[in-house]
């Protein structure tokens, strides 16, 4: 069992070929701009500022590897849907993530972050369809759970899956809030169980 206490930043890479050359398995985290990705990574890794947070969405524009317990990586991927970037710049950043997802042999699983307050957005649906088409294993993590009443959380998530109407999606999902530390231990336990 890992307690996520031995965590270190390994490196940033601009493409899959620059990523670490060891054979540790990797859990990649990606989501739409402003979904709370860096805050969630900090919570999972139990480090306040190991992933840089910013009030300006789009801070992550490289592939960032974090080594956990000298056993596996949490990988912070550039997100998508940056409203303040040009279409060309947004596509360039997204292609970095595509390159990693399509070519990284060490990739064990992807966590796709979705803001729990929203119904399925076209940009998220497109990304989900991409992952399904490429037969990638992924789970949805619903973020910002502190923004909704607790009694509504599970129903909201179930409704989200119904609206998506994508039977190929793994039905295991997580509800979390970095602010209130909701769901973090469940994500850690899932990661530990998933390591081959």
36-56 pLDDT, tens digit each:
999 999 999 999 889 876 555
Q: What is the largest CA-CA distance in the chain?
A: 45
- Decide if 69 contacts 2 (C-beta within 8 A): yes
Q: What is the mean pLDDT of the chain?
A: 90
Answer left, alpha or beta for residue 51, where phi above 0 means left and psi between -120 and 50 means alpha: beta
Considering the chain, what percentage of its residues have pLDDT values greater than 70? 93
Q: Which CATH architecture has domain 7-194?
A: 3-Layer(aba) Sandwich (3.40)
Tokens of 18: 């620059």
The predicted structure's pLDDT at residue 58: 52
Q: If you search the block for the tokens 């279409």, which residue do you land on? A: 87
Please give the C-alpha separations between residue 19 and each of 43, 64, 94, 105, 126, in angstroms, as whole numbers: 23, 9, 16, 11, 26
Tell me the domain boundaries of the chain: 7-194
CA atoms of 10 and 12, how far apart (whole Å): 7
Q: CA of 176: how far to CAs of 30, 78, 160, 166, in Å? A: 15, 20, 15, 22
Determine the pLDDT at residue 26.
98
Summarised one tens digit per residue, pLDDT across range 101-153 is 999 999 999 999 999 999 999 999 999 999 999 999 999 999 999 999 988 89
């Amino acid at each position: 069992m890992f307690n996520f206490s031995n965590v270190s930043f390994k490196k940033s890479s601009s493409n899959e070929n620059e990523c670490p050359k060891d054979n540790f398995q990797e859990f990649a985290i990606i989501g739409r701009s402003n979904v709370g990705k860096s805050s969630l990574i900090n919570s999972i890794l139990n480090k306040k500022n190991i992933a840089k947070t910013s009030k300006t969405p789009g801070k992550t524009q490289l592939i960032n590897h974090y080594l956990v317990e000298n056993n596996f990586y949490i990988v912070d991927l550039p997100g998508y849907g940056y409203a303040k970037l040009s279409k060309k710049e947004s596509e360039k950043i997204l292609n970095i993530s595509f390159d990693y997802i399509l070519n990284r042999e060490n990739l064990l699983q992807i966590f796709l972050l979705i803001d729990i307050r929203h119904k399925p957005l076209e940009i998220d649906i497109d990304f989900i369809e991409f992952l399904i088409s490429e037969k990638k294993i992924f789970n949805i993590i619903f973020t910002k759970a502190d923004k909704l009443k607790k009694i509504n959380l599970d129903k909201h998530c179930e409704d989200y899956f119904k609206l998506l109407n994508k039977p190929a999606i793994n039905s295991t999902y997580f509800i979390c809030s970095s602010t209130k530390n909701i769901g973090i231990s469940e994500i850690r336990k899932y990661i530990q169980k998933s390591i081959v």
